[in-house]
Amino acid sequence: MLVTLALACTCLLGPPKVPGATDTLTEREGASVSTNLPGDSLSERGSWNFNDLGGWIWAPEILDRQTCRFWNAIEIPPGRISRARLRITADNEYILFLDGHELGRDAEWRHLYEYDLTPLLSPGRHVLAVRAYNSVKEAGLALGLSIRMEDGRLIRVKSDSTWRLVPDGVKNWEEISSPSSEWRSARVIAPFGGQPWGKPGAINLVPPLQRIVIPFWQTDWFHLTVLALMGVLAVVSFRLMTQLALRTKEKELLQRERARIARDIHDDLGLHVTQLVLQGEVAQSELPPGSKTRGQFEHMCEDAREALRAMDEILWAINPRRDTFREFVTYVCGYAQKFLKHTPIQCVLDVEPEITSAAFDLPLRRNLLLAVKEALNNVARHSQATELHLKIRWQGHGLVVTLEDNGRGFDPDRASTERNGLTNMAQRMSEVGGNFRVSSQPGKGCRVELSMPLKQMRRRFWWPGREVKSSLTGAEKNQDCSRTPGDDTTSM
């Protein structure tokens, strides 16, 4: 009967505790491990004893529902830290800070809480701070920090009167490196282990703390750098937009001025020159045939017609409505046919039907036109050809103009250096970023290829002013290209 009763008690109460044994339990989902210590001895856990902890400290006056802010600073000498442990407890609760960062909090004064600060400390000055709260009656804070260096040196920080009380209203007090003279010293209420608290029954081991490695993109310096770059980009973008707006406005004003000049030349100068031609022809008709004066009037009328043709070309060049690839192709084809009309050379046109209407700036189309005119002039004067093929193609990202005749040809390596035709064409194309190629053999005709890459044109002319101005200057210097007679019906 007694044996049965003993077995029943054993089942209900569990096995008896052996002195010196420990219970392990998780109080907050793995936040800490509690080790119950039998008797009153804490020294069984190693080198730690009550001498490693300071006394219970608080403000000079103890009040219900009172919050105290404790502050202290430690200086760690140069060297490697072997181990750094801190034990703390408070009646009723505490929040522990290191260099402004919260390490942990709890509210059980019967337990000690142990923190491993080894990975968080380094040589230099550190700020240790505690915010403690008392709900009612007795109040106190007790802690001890032990830092052991690899060379054997030992640094201890205890709760004593060296701790300062930080008044309410001080911002970021947990990380202030030097105390204010207005901060009062803490008061030691009782030694650790004294009444009314006695000795703690357990040490809660807080899981090891690791220094938080902040990614560089989350650091303040990175944010400041990004903000600075954004500011620079905003300023540069604003400046570019302003320049672009000014450039657009200047281009608009330039086009208006070009259109006005074209109208004035056509309506005023063109009218007067035409009247001179008509008056000369009337005067010529009234003179007897074969007279010397009649011949002079005839030469005068021919010079006036030549002036009209030159004026037509100038009007075509400056008219902003002609600043397209399609207008350029139309003009070149018409010019070639009129130029070869009174020669034995038949002009065969081979033009791609789908020519873009994209913008073709004045410096580009003028230099390309002058190069085409130079090539036509060379064919008419030197080739002795009967047929000329004029091909205009849109290849890749550029316009290609090819002139190929069936004349007598020549050897490019032995061409006369006194003639500037080939040199002029190469120079005109080079000025605007184009390409010039000539291939010929004696008795096998000649082929001239002029190409204008669109990508290169955009690269050279998109920035305000500089390259356009240089190309215009180069074009003005090379206006000595020979003009060939034709009629005055060119579209303006």
Cβ-contact 442, 415 below 8 angstroms: no
CATH 3.40.1670.10 describes domain 323-492: no
H or E segment to which residue 363 belongs: helix 362-378
Q: Is the pTM of this model over 0.85?
A: no
CATH assignment of 14-210, among 1.10.8.80, 2.60.120.260, 2.40.33.20, 3.30.420.40: 2.60.120.260
Q: pLDDT higher for 6 or 302?
A: 302
Give the burial class of 312: count Cβ atoms within 10 A of its Cβ; 0-12 exposed, 13-18 middle, 19 or more buried.
Answer: buried
Residue 117 to residue 160: CA distance in whole angstroms: 20
What are the tens digits of pLDDT across the range 5-61?
Answer: 333 333 333 333 333 333 322 233 334 444 444 333 333 344 445 667 899 999 999
* Mean pLDDT for the stretch of residues 320-348: 89
Output the six-digit token pair for 171.
């911002």
Output the six-digit token pair for 111.
């337990």
Beta strands in 135-271 (DSSP E): 140-149, 154-158, 164-165, 184-185, 187-190, 202-205
What are the tens digits of pLDDT across the range 212-243?
Answer: 677 888 888 999 999 999 999 999 999 999 99
Nearest to 193 by CA among 43, 339, 297: 43
Cβ-contact 95, 128 below 8 angstroms: no
H or E segment to which residue 125 belongs: strand 124-134
pLDDT for 76: 95
Q: pLDDT higher for 269 or 438?
A: 438
* Topology alike, domains 14-210 and 323-492: no
List the domain boundaries for the chain. Answer: 14-210, 238-321, 323-492
What are the tens digits of pLDDT across the range 95-113?
Answer: 999 999 999 999 988 899 9
Least trusted range by pLDDT, from 237-246, 415-424, 477-486: 477-486
* Mean pLDDT for the stretch of residues 458-486: 39
Q: pLDDT higher for 267 or 327?
A: 327
Rounded to a whole number of angstroms, the CA Rg of the chain reads 50
pLDDT for 275: 80
H or E segment to which residue 46 belongs: none
Mean pLDDT over the full length of the chain: 79
Least trusted range by pLDDT, from 9-23, 118-132, 171-185, 229-243: 9-23
- Helix 292-318 to helix 220-264 angle (10° resolution) is 160
Band (pLDDT 50/70/90 cuts) for residue 421 is confident
Residue 48 to residue 86: CA distance in whole angstroms: 11
Nearest to 351 by CA among 333, 331, 371, 324: 333
